[in-house]
A and B are shown apart, each in its own frame.
Chain A
Amino acid sequence: MKKLTLVIGLLACCLAPLLAPVGTLGAQEAVEITFVHIFPDERDIRRSTVEEIAAAFMAENPGVTVNVQTTTDDYSEVFEGALRAAEQGNAPYVVQIEDSLTQIAIDSQYFVKIGDYASEEQLATIPDIIAPMRNFYNLDDEIWGMPWNASNPVMFINPTMFEAAGLDPASPPQTFEEITAACEAIMSAEIENLGGCINWPVNSWLPEQWLAMQNALFVNNDNGRSARATEAYIDTPEMARVFDWWNDLDDNGYFTYSGTPGAYTPEGLLFVTKKTAIHLTTSAAISNIFSFAPVMGQFTPVVAPFPKPYAEATNGITAGGAAVWVMAGHPDAETQAAVDFIFYLTNTENIKTWHKASGYFPVRQSAIDELEAEGWFDENPAYFIPLQQLLDSTPNPANAGARFGAASQVRATVIDAILSVIDNDEDPAAAMAAAQDRANKAIADYNSVIGG
């Protein structure tokens, strides 16, 4: 019988852990909120920073538990997951929403305005948010989401290659024309293994920046800010300037990309492995590119302001990134706790911590002032460039960026049009006209369902 006892004992040991979850039912009833963000990588310092901030918040508010959840780095998946969960009555509380999803998130009716729950004290900190961010998120009118991780595009150059081509890395090209000229020099310098002179992720975001710089709108009704947008502006002289330049770079063999449209990492890899000399990308990539370039390419890159279409195109760029939103359908106490957590997450101290950990630029003037006083930007000048180019612009509808529900679909048509020009040698003018038609149809479809 000993063996029988042994068998039963072993079985019991195997099954015991399975029984364990039953015992944890019925935990204490306190306010418990969830926060869903898009930094799931366990090695990512941004993830641990968020968790530290949440832990500090819980220490200060003993009645509140913040469950930080993260499973994907895809903004759309987070948004769709949140909506699906809300449909089934399991809505998360605080969700990180990308800027291009702003209008569709409002239209979904699954979110509440943070402004409706914020205290006087909390609302008093809103003017401290830098003007371009307030402009981008319409914070002076209504507060849906609080800007949290913000970035904008910058230019990286490989100083070694610039010197090899007889160019001065200290004065990087600033306009389309200057980039073309620099590329001509770089491509004729016979640098080994060069795949092209310049690369950037093929998306609609960068062309939209070039529109903003030219004080041109992307959609009508003041970029969808004075009324719901009904028409896209793709077939315009300002966009033509972008398409034509891009097409010329491609025809001359100056422009290259990984073959995967929209992807950031493969393009960054081309630059740090010395396949290109100039690279345009988001300022959120500064940390990665600075840590990988010395290892993979044995060089230290130089960060420069994002190039302008022409010297007089000084209207500035848009403030992109993501904001943190609160979902509807929860009891007031929980919604209140969620709003409190958001104001804690975006207070001066935590914005500073967040900036240092992630490279996303600080969205509060008070944080910028303190960082300047600490000498942080003197030690890390690369981080000041994206901030500087943003603060240089006077807010207006063009550099506020477009806000409309069909943004994802319209951006896809812009990418399609660009790809047909650079990969399939379509005529830029024809491609832009066709893209405009498709975009208008997507906007009309969206408005016909949502009732704009």
Chain B
Amino acid sequence: MDDDSRLPISPQAAQRVLLGAALGFLLVFFVPRLDGLAALWDLLRDAIAGLPGFVVDVIDYYRAAPGEQVAYSALVGAIFGAVTTALVAGVFDPARFAHGRTWLAVLAGAGAGALGAQILMFPAQHCTYASDIGGAQFRVGLVVTALGALALLVPVWTLLRGRPGARVQHVAGHFKRSPLPYVFLVPTVIVLAVFLYYPAAQIMLVSLRRKIFPLPQERFACMQNYVDLASDAVYRNSFASTLYITLFVVLFSLAIALAIAVLASQKVKWAGVYRTLLVWPYAISPVVTGVIFLSMFREGGAGLLNWALGSTLGINPGWLTDKDLAPWVIVAASVWNLLGFNVLFYIAGLQNIPTDLLEAASLDGAGRVRRFWRITFPLLSPFTFFLLVTNVTYSFYGIYGVVDTLTPQGGPRFGPGGESGATNVLIFKLYKDAFDTGAPAGLGAAQAVVLFLMVATFTVLQFRFLERRVTYEG
């Protein structure tokens, strides 16, 4: 066996060929797409070139803006900043917060609040502080002012708390005082800015307007869209159905997946085949899941389930037309859709559980059930937590495909004139209100903002309070 005979070419040559191929591919890939790249570049260049103009606009706006409204917004921001800073100082050690100079900290908080309030009040043109504004819009305006102030206050608090990383040993890195890390960050930042931050900012601006999708006309509406949402019975019903559909989807998908995973982890013949088949629904998109369930639950004599029920028991439940049944069809389809994903993770988790612990417990006389609840289940908690977060996100966002295919009208109607739908979950209503022909797109945008705040809050809460109960070490 001589080594040379294994490769027809030298490793160096092979490397060069690979490099050449890679470069060639990049060239071939990007050259026909130069137009697109040029468009992206133009977009970025325009954005950067537009910055000075934007600053001028801001200055012009504040010069011309009604001073009273700006002053009120700054005052509200300052009061909010001062009060919350004082509270934060109280929660942390007042002696350490801002080195004990609490009054100075409160003053800084007031300044940051007044300035931060402008972050959201400038795009809203301080409209909620106009003298002729309605009470409801004014109250929404207060919340928006506070949110804007918070955006600046949180970093200020972090600064005032002293070095947050003081406990962590500062390790001298190779990147110190080098622009290199920022260069590496640029592509990511560009992608995030173009495809995430910019559209998100646009949506917030649209939520302050009245629009008719897909027409170009629009008119400024201040916080009216948010006020309308708050007083809309359809939106409240949509909120309620989202909450309980989410609750049951998460509960059932986790419980059933865990049970199946435990069974599939037993040492049986063909275990690999079972596991593959169990994971398979994960490869199916929500829309296809919806179509599969539609073929079972369709009515008027065309669905499999009612055919079976009708010919044996003589009943024909209105699966998709009864407001008490339709949400359960959605729950069933979503649970089935999520099952493969959850089973996959639970099987992986179960394989990670050290057998010596289980054996030790077994020797100590712990039964199967006790071993499961005392050892297996707690050790699975990182997986359960991860799945909880992903499943909740699915139930809020990913469920759209299932709802749209099974109940394209938002489900059986109820309420006056059938205004509400039993499966009209938030993400579905949002999409309808934003993209149906003639839809009130501003209202849809407001829903998108509210839904985003909701899921963001929920996720933060989960990480804050639930993750503490998670055991990561075996």
Complex: chain A residue closest to B409, CB-CB:
A261
Q: Is B276 an interface position by the 8 A CB rule? A: no
Rounded to whole angstroms, the CA-CA distance of A448 and B408 in the bound complex is 28
> Is A270 within 8 A of B302, CB to CB?
yes
Alpha-carbon gap, A110 to B409, bound state (A): 29
A189 is an interface residue with CB less than 8 A from chain B: no
Q: CB-CB < 8 A to B408: which residues of A?
A: 260-263
On chain A, the residues within 8 Å of B321 by CB distance are 259, 419, 423
Question: Is A258 in contact with chain B by the CB < 8 A criterion?
Answer: yes
Q: Are B217 and A275 in contact (CB under 8 A)?
A: no
Residue B414 at the chain A interface, CB threshold 8 Å: yes
**Does B300 count as interface, using CB distance less than 8 angstroms?**
yes
Complex interface residues of chain A between 271 and 294 (CB less than 8 A to chain B): 273, 275-276
Nearest-neighbor residue (CB-CB) of A405 within chain B: B438
State whether B419 touches A434 (Cβ < 8 A): yes
B217 with A21: CB separation less than 8 A? no
A416 within 8 A of B: yes
Task: Please give, as numbers and ranges, the residues of chain A lying within 8 Å of B229 by CB-CB distance.
Answer: none
B24 contacts partner chain A, Cβ-Cβ < 8 Å: yes
The answer, among A3, A267, A405, A433, for a CB contact under 8 Å with B212, is A405
User: B355 CB to closest chain A CB, in angstroms?
Assistant: 48
CA distance in complex: A416, B212 (Å): 20
Q: How far apart are A436's CB and chain B's nearest CB, in angstroms?
A: 8
Partner of A450, one of B13, B29, B217, B300: B217
**Is A269 an interface position by the 8 A CB rule?**
yes
* Chain B residues, Cβ within 8 Å of A188: none
- Specify the chain B residue showing the minimal Cβ separation from A432: B417
Closest B residue to A76 by CB, please name it. Answer: B437
Q: Does A7 contact B (CB under 8 A)?
A: yes
CB distance from A380 to the nearest CB of B (A): 29
> Are B13 and A4 interface neighbours, CB within 8 A?
yes
* Cβ contacts under 8 Å, A199 to chain B: 300
Interface flag for B378 (CB, 8 Å) = no
CB atoms of A416 and B28 under 8 A apart: no
Using Cβ atoms and an 8 Å threshold, which residues of chain A touch B412? 419, 423-424
**A149 interface residue (CB < 8 Å to B):** no
Contact B438 A18 (CB under 8 A): no
Does B417 contact A437, Cβ atoms closer than 8 Å? Answer: yes
Interface-central residue, B211, B301, B418, B440, by most chain A CB under 10 Å: B418
A417-B417, A423-B322 known; A108 vs B210 contact (CB < 8 Å): no
Question: Does residue B318 face the partner (Cβ distance < 8 Å to A)?
Answer: yes
Task: Give the complex CA separation of A266 and B320 in angstroms.
Answer: 14
Q: How large is the interface on A (under 10, 10 to 19, 20 to 34, 35 or more residues)?
A: 35 or more
A84:B212 contact, CB within 8 angstroms: no
Which chain A residues in 1-36 approach chain B with CB under 8 Å? 1, 3-4, 7-8, 11, 15, 18-19, 21-22
| Chain B residue nearest in CB terms to A430 | B416
B187 CB–A CB distance under 8 Å: no
Task: Give the distance to chain A from B328, nearest Cβ to Cβ, in Å.
Answer: 14
Q: Is B474 an interface residue (CB 8 A)?
A: no
Q: Which of A196, A270, A413 contacts B417 (CB 8 A)?
A: A413
Would A3 and B302 count as touching, CB distance under 8 A?
no
B438 touches A446 (CB 8 A): yes
Contact yes or no, B438 A193, CB < 8 A = no
A406 and B421 CA atoms in complex are apart in Å by 21
Query: Is the Cβ of A21 less than 8 Å from the Cβ of B302?
Result: no
B419 and A438 form a contact (CB under 8 A)? yes
Q: Kindly list chain B residues whose C-beta atoms are within 8 Å of the C-beta of A258.
A: 298-300, 302
The reply on B439 being an interface residue by CB < 8 A is yes
A83 within 8 A of B: yes
Chain B residues near A451 (CB-CB < 8 A): 217
CB within 8 A of B320: which of A260, A424, A448? A260
With beta carbons under 8 angstroms apart, the residue of A108, A419, A431, A435 that contacts B409 is A419
A209 to B116, CA, bound (A): 57
Query: Which of A195, A421, A435 is most buried by chain B, counting CB atoms within 10 A of its CB?
Result: A195
Q: A18-B29, A258-B302 are in contact. Are A434 and B417 (CB under 8 A)?
A: yes
B219 at the interface (CB under 8 A from A): yes
A15 x B214 contact (CB < 8 A): no
A409 and B436 contact, CB distance less than 8 A: yes
Interface residues of B in 416-465 (CB under 8 A from A): 416-419, 421, 435-440
Considering only CB atoms, which chain A residue lies closest to B234 in the complex? Answer: A438
Chain B positions 296-341 with a Cβ under 8 Å from a chain A Cβ: 297-303, 318-323
| Residue among A8, A15, A22, A104 making CB contact with B438, cutoff 8 Å | A104
Asked if A426 contacts B299 (CB within 8 A), the reply is: no
> Within the complex, which residue of B215, B301, B415 is in contact with A193, where a contact is CB–CB below 8 Å?
B301
Q: Which residues of B contact A262 (CB under 8 A)?
A: 408-409
Min CB distance A263 to B, Å, is 8
A257–B299 contact, CB under 8 A?
yes
| Interface set of A (CB-CB < 8 Å, partner B) | 1, 3-4, 7-8, 11, 15, 18-19, 21-22, 76, 79-80, 83-84, 87, 101, 104, 107-109, 193-196, 199, 256-263, 266-267, 269-270, 273, 275-276, 405-409, 412-413, 415-421, 423-424, 426, 430-438, 442, 445-446, 448-451
Given A84-B214, A426-B418, A434-B418, 4 more contacts at CB 8 Å?
A416-B413, A424-B412, A435-B418, A438-B417
The 3 closest A-B pairs by CB, nearest first: A434-B417, A420-B418, A195-B301
